[in-house]
Amino acid sequence: MGVPPSRGAPHDPRQRQVHEGRRRSRQSSYRGRRFRIVVAETTTTAYRQHWTGDDGAAAANGDEGVWPVYHGKSFDLWTPDTGDYYDSCKAETMIELLHQRRQNPSPGSPHHGLSDEHLADPQTLACRRPRIAVRDVARSNDTRTLIAALIPPGCILPQHVAYALASEGTTASEEAFTLGVLCSMPCDWQARRRAELHMGNSEILGGLSIPEPGDDPVSLRLTKIAARLAATDERFDSWAGNAGVTVNSVDPDEREELLAELDACAAALYGLDEDDIAVLYDTFGRPGQWDDHRDAVIGHWRRITT
């Protein structure tokens, strides 16, 4: 079978079977639970004058007081920083501009409803802590469609990259759980049926079904795997500690098995059975493309659901 339909209700009865399986799980809308979708932290039109115009050279060089301006190529799944930047900027300037921008937020602002104390403190700016970013440009026939990562603090995002603004009180573990689901192939399977060219908008991201986290062993295991995969270096040290893991803890030899186990946990939380999982991977891309990964996922799924 070729690449399945990219949006709307699936025409293949086997794909409808997966959708029915997802409906059996405990789910909630991604929007408004613990995160708010921010489509553009900055825009090239309004903020380019405050950037250096060096295509990210100063940031890549590690110049003091300089932050990178990201674009889609700046990160990938479980890769928070590729070193490929859109531009560079002065950190102090951007902190001041972004802090001023979120004062007295209008009802339509993602910052509306945050406490006055939170808004008054520039240390609480999203750019000063790790956060979930989502690549905007996406196609339903790419190897993967939903590209998300926990990016490090000290990065500025233009309109090419959306991010999840964590509500006050959101824990690192809750963030890790959400990231793990977003980076799983069961979640990407539904994204491929919604995205045509752009992934990073509030309508698509807000419409994704995300299982509710819990204290059950499967949720906790998915959270731990995601936290370990996300915390790649010392920039995530504080976040990793709050999530109960250490940075750079994933051995390259165990990475593929962890990814398969993560997908198995996500599939279980979505309420998928073994047949659903087989359909999901068989209709994800080219025939046979994911056979080895599918078999590994099913093996983990059997173990965690018995």
- The 3 state secondary structure assigned to the chain is CCCCCCCCCCCCHHHHHHHHHHHCCCEEECECCCEEEECCCCCHHHHHHHECCCCCHHHHHCCCCEEEECCHHHCECCECCCCCCCEEEEHHHHHHHHHHHCCCCCCCCCCCCCCHHHHHCHHHCHHHCCEEEEECECCCCCCCCCCEEEECCCCECCCCEEEEEECCCCCHHHHHHHHHHHCCHHHHHHHCCCCCCECCCHHHHHHCEEECCCCCHHHHHHHHHHHHHHCCCHHHHHHHHHHCCCCCCCCHHHHHHHHHHHHHHHHHHCCCCHHHHHHHHHCCCCCCCCHHHHHHHHHHHHHHCC
- Residue 2: per-residue pLDDT: 33
Q: Quick one: pLDDT band at residue 194, thresholds 50, 70, 90?
A: confident
- Quick one: average pLDDT of 97-115? 90
Residue 285 has pLDDT above 50, yes or no: yes
Q: Quick one: pLDDT band at residue 193, thresholds 50, 70, 90?
A: confident
- Quick one: average pLDDT of 93-98? 97
- Quick one: average pLDDT of 152-156? 98
Domain boundaries defined on the chain: 13-304
Least confident of 140-144, 163-167, 217-221, 224-228: 140-144
- Residue 42: per-residue pLDDT: 94
Least confident of 54-58, 198-202, 230-234: 198-202
Q: State the average pLDDT for the chain.
A: 87
